[in-house]
A and B are shown apart, each in its own frame.
Chain A
Amino acid sequence: MLRSRLALIIVALVGVLALLFVVLAVGLVAGLGSKGSPGPAPGETPSDPAATGNGVPSGPSSGELRILGADPPTMDPHLAGDVDSATYIVEIFSGLVTLDRDLKVVPDIAESWQTTDGVTWTFQLRPGVRFHNNKVVTAQDFKFSFERACDPRTASTTAHTYLGDIVGCTDKLNGVAREVRGVQVVDDATLRLVIDAPKVYFIEKLTYPTAFVLDEANVRSGSAWTLRPNGTGPFKLQEWRPGERLILQRNDAYYRGPAKLERVRFILSGGSSITMYENNEIDVSGVGLTDIDRALDPANPLNRELINAPELSVGYIGFNTTKPPFDDLKVRQAFNYAVDKRKIVSVVLKDLVEPAAGILPPGLPGYSKDIKGLEFDAARAKQLLAESKYGSAQGLGRVVITIPGTGTALPPTSEAIIQQWKDNLGVTVEIQQVEFATFLQDLNRGIFQAFEIGWVADYPDPQNFLDLLFHSGSLENRSYFSDPEVDRILDQARVEKNETARLALYRQAEQLIVDKAPWLPLWHGRGYILVKPYVRGWYIAPLVVPFFKDISIEK
């Protein structure tokens, strides 16, 4: 017995020693690893006197806005293709042009620009624009930046989409050219861009971070340069502790006038946003489905702090128009008419979103209330199904709808839709939920019969929706919709220079698309946000645009 007890003691000792060793080693490595971001051990940070790391913060310090944020995958504007990264990047960096609150393209580093033919664009740079380290921005910096974005070694996922129109960009991306011919430095303050065809919407693409200007010395300072970015935007990156916090500090020398806020503190660790809001830990919070009842209740104090606005998005069910049974127009229409979106939206989604009639979301240029959707009509749905080449619910064969996600957005709605198809058409549709990475791969292979997903505007133009998603030649067209009439109108709209005529063309295309039903458009997103009364100037931006500059805190 004694021996076995001794054995236990030794094992215990070995265990404890091994543990101590591991803890020490990890602590050491962690300490070394986090050298990149300022500040020593967890807890206090000397460089940040206003840190409220310990305990419940009593309220905001003046000039500091506190909100929940997400860890950005990258701070490199040329690599970012996601909303999380863009949120910070548009505050730290900037480009030739940007979007204002109404999503109009406005001058940024470029003071003005001219184009006569829609092919050659000449930009006049604003004098005295400086990087955060005080270096003056020249047209040469833009040339460097565009060429870096198009360099295959940068491995940008967005360069092709946003800069691909520039002459020579794809050559550079494909490694057959050393420079991008379409980017020309006229003088220090003048930049010329030449694109491959007249495209009015090209200027909108330049608002995207892929077209932002970088400081060559900064980029060449090592792979960790994004931890100390030298940008041109209204804020500087002061501190970034992954998973904990990210702090933006005002750039007092900002060329369009310094921001009113001294600092924006993003809490990266996540958690229940609305609870933190009610606890006064943050100043702004989104409202989800589970709390919307409380926030909408006029008797609840939260109600007075609630604002809402449309987001530029559309949720939809896409039908693969090349696969049975959705290769038949009447089947697609029947599946449209059979769903009572209004009822689902009001019961399941508590009117948090707007039922969609067409494709374009409200708030997007070109959006029209006059688009006639395929509104719920059970009798008509049945009739169309009977008229289709499949003749009846039994004739359709197996129908499967695939939805992405491991716990992503609102699956009860999918179940409600399935139920309505069953009730109103007598069709039993099977649901398959697939993890997102796998979903995307299979979506690209075109193997789904039907799928549920959403589309969010990359830039505020109907072209971003209609041309990309419904032109027979577009890679993003996952319903494989092909209609010569629609293609013709879309082609025409691409080169139409008169804005009113252009939007009219898109309206015409949209109505045709809705009637041909490659989609069952479901709803347009709407943002619901709680904002503390002392936060001034907050609004719901439908896209990621430079935002915090005009917000202030007044107590």
Chain B
Amino acid sequence: MASTTFEAAPAAVRHRARSPWREALRRFLRKRAAVACLVFLLIVYFAGLLAPWVAPYDFRAQDLDNAGQGPSLSHPLGTDRLGRDIFSRIIWGARTAAIVSIAAVVTGSLVLGMVLGSLAGYFGRWVDTIIMRIGDIFLAFPGLLLVIFIAATLKPRALALAVAVEDSLGVRGIVASGLVDYFVVFGALALFGWVGMARLVRGQMLALKEAQFVEAARALGAGPGRIVFRHMLPNAMGPIIVIVSMAMGGTVTSEVVLSWLGIGIQPPNPSWGTMLWENQGMLRSNPHLLLVPAAVVASVIFAFNILGDGLNDALNPRAR
């Protein structure tokens, strides 16, 4: 897709002022919109993760006699073509979005991206060259296409594997819970998610490497691990947090797109993308079937962006 990406402005080297984090928190709390978005997102994510206990109905429970109804007391957002409760499916969809986005961002951006970026930035030379060139190769792929291909073709194999594992261990429920779907989708997303983060962290490391406090630490005999994790990464945390919040929003969108294409989370496991896809074309007959998930997706992406802006203003004050 021809979309434009914008990297957060690199943070300048900051001196360790007194409690910069408290300072940042104070600045962030002044942004009411960003705080409101954070609260909203927390509600969505927690509702999603707690879906089995929060949702009023089972997302699969069909009621063909009450299919395609508008909002009512028993179904606050109405029912879909199979008579399933839309409100419950939205909450279960939030579970999918939450699991996939957290998993993909944690593994892709945070773990892979931060470790590889730190290595490249700190050690430089051939380590840097190799990591960054590998990153180049990943970026050179038509990413979305490859994700589609992997998600579409890998899943049947992964499912077969999971079935075999379940049968040999005599357990049930891994396949039925849709975990394999989650795993394949976030795996595919994480595979391409790390490069941006690695580049950012590397840039920060390059800039911080020459900073006085790093040289001081080195002079005092600290090892590379300690220098990177105790001294450098905390100083690069501002931009990292901003990128993570943006990446979460981006991953939610990607999950929705993949499911919309029918290669993300498979029915009956709910995803907002699946709901949008199932009901496309219903704009004229049953608009709420399309508009409800659309509004939810839009609000979540909106909230992540406002939150990202707020964090950016609070954590990287020089970038304003």
The short answer to whether A and B are in direct contact, CB under 8 Å, is yes
Cβ B64 vs Cβ A406 within 8 A: no
Among residues of B, the one whose C-beta sits closest to the C-beta of A442 is B156
Contact of B163 among A272, A398, A407 (CB under 8 A): A398
Interface presence of A32 (CB below 8 A)? no
Interface presence of B172 (CB below 8 A)? yes
Interface presence of A226 (CB below 8 A)? no
Q: What's the Cα separation between A86 and B77 when bound, in Å?
A: 46
Q: What's the Cα separation between A398 and B159 when bound, in Å?
A: 13
Interface presence of B3 (CB below 8 A)? no
In the complex, chain A residues whose CB is within 8 Å of the CB of B176: 428, 430
Also in contact, A348 and B263, with CB within 8 A (given A291-B281, A430-B175, A430-B176): no
Interface presence of A372 (CB below 8 A)? no
Q: What's the Cα separation between A434 and B152 when bound, in Å?
A: 7
In the complex, chain B residues whose CB is within 8 Å of the CB of A419: 60, 62, 82
Nearest CB in chain A: distance from B270 CB, A: 11
Among residues of A, the one whose C-beta sits closest to the C-beta of B278 is A412
Cβ A347 vs Cβ B64 within 8 A: yes
B61-82 contact mask (Cβ, 8 Å, vs A): 1 or 0:
0101101000000000000011
Interface presence of A11 (CB below 8 A)? no
Contact of A290 among B167, B277, B285 (CB under 8 A): B285
Cβ A438 vs Cβ B153 within 8 A: yes
Among residues of A, the one whose C-beta sits closest to the C-beta of B268 is A415
Contact of B82 among A294, A405, A416, A432 (CB under 8 A): A416
Q: What's the Cα separation between A214 and B281 when bound, in Å?
A: 43
Cβ A435 vs Cβ B152 within 8 A: yes
B118-152 contact mask (Cβ, 8 Å, vs A): 1 or 0:
00000000000000000000000000000000001
Contact of A294 among B159, B278, B284 (CB under 8 A): B284
Among residues of B, the one whose C-beta sits closest to the C-beta of A428 is B176
Q: What's the Cα separation between A400 and B156 when bound, in Å?
A: 12
Also in contact, A435 and B261, with CB within 8 A (given A412-B82, A419-B62): no
- Most chain A Cβ neighbours within 10 Å, of B81, B176, B262, B282: B81
Nearest CB in chain A: distance from B65 CB, A: 8
Cβ A415 vs Cβ B64 within 8 A: no
In the complex, chain B residues whose CB is within 8 Å of the CB of A439: 156
A229-268 contact mask (Cβ, 8 Å, vs B): 1 or 0:
0000000000000000000000000000000000000000
Contact of B284 among A291, A428, A431, A438 (CB under 8 A): A291
Interface presence of B266 (CB below 8 A)? yes
Cβ B267 vs Cβ A431 within 8 A: yes
Q: What's the Cα separation between A332 and B28 when bound, in Å?
A: 63
Name the interface residues of A397-437: CB closer than 8 Å to any CB of B: 398, 400, 405-408, 411-412, 414-416, 418-419, 428, 430-435, 437
Cβ A416 vs Cβ B62 within 8 A: yes
In the complex, chain B residues whose CB is within 8 Å of the CB of A400: 163
Q: What's the Cα separation between A291 and B167 when bound, in Å?
A: 44
Among residues of B, the one whose C-beta sits closest to the C-beta of A411 is B267
Contact of A415 among B82, B277, B281 (CB under 8 A): B82
Cβ A433 vs Cβ B261 within 8 A: no
Contact of B285 among A294, A348, A414 (CB under 8 A): A294
Nearest CB in chain B: distance from A313 CB, A: 22
- Most chain A Cβ neighbours within 10 Å, of B62, B65, B263: B62
Main secondary structure of the interface of A (DSSP, over half): mixed
Cβ B263 vs Cβ A435 within 8 A: yes
Nearest CB in chain A: distance from B255 CB, A: 15
In the complex, chain B residues whose CB is within 8 Å of the CB of A293: 285
Cβ A435 vs Cβ B156 within 8 A: yes
Interface presence of A343 (CB below 8 A)? yes
Q: What's the Cα separation between A430 and B172 when bound, in Å?
A: 11
Name the interface residues of B230-270: CB closer than 8 Å to any CB of A: 261-263, 266-268
Cβ B152 vs Cβ A290 within 8 A: no
Nearest CB in chain A: distance from B159 CB, A: 6
Cβ B266 vs Cβ A348 within 8 A: no
Cβ B64 vs Cβ A407 within 8 A: no
In the complex, chain B residues whose CB is within 8 Å of the CB of A183: none
Interface presence of A334 (CB below 8 A)? no
Cβ A407 vs Cβ B60 within 8 A: no
Nearest CB in chain B: distance from A452 CB, A: 13
Among residues of B, the one whose C-beta sits closest to the C-beta of A340 is B64
Among residues of B, the one whose C-beta sits closest to the C-beta of A436 is B152
Also in contact, A433 and B64, with CB within 8 A (given A288-B281, A348-B81, A407-B261): no
Cβ A348 vs Cβ B64 within 8 A: yes
Interface presence of A344 (CB below 8 A)? yes
Q: What's the Cα separation between A290 and B261 when bound, in Å?
A: 18
Nearest CB in chain B: distance from A425 CB, A: 15
Contact of A438 among B156, B167, B285 (CB under 8 A): B156
In the complex, chain A residues whose CB is within 8 Å of the CB of B263: 406, 435
Cβ B62 vs Cβ A415 within 8 A: yes
Among residues of A, the one whose C-beta sits closest to the C-beta of B80 is A412
Q: What's the Cα separation between A416 and B60 when bound, in Å?
A: 10
**Which A residues form the contact surface with B (CB < 8 A)?**
272, 288-291, 293-294, 343-344, 347-348, 398, 400, 405-408, 411-412, 414-416, 418-419, 428, 430-435, 437-439, 442
* Given A407-B277, A415-B62, A433-B262, 9 more pairs with CB closer than 8 A: A290-B285, A347-B64, A348-B81, A398-B166, A406-B152, A408-B262, A412-B267, A438-B152, A438-B156
**Which B residues form the contact surface with A (CB < 8 A)?**
60, 62, 64-65, 67, 81-82, 152-153, 155-156, 159, 163, 166-167, 172, 175-176, 261-263, 266-268, 277-278, 280-282, 284-285
Pairs A–B under 8 Å by Cβ, sample size 11: A289-B281, A290-B282, A290-B285, A291-B284, A294-B284, A343-B64, A406-B261, A412-B278, A419-B62, A437-B153, A438-B152
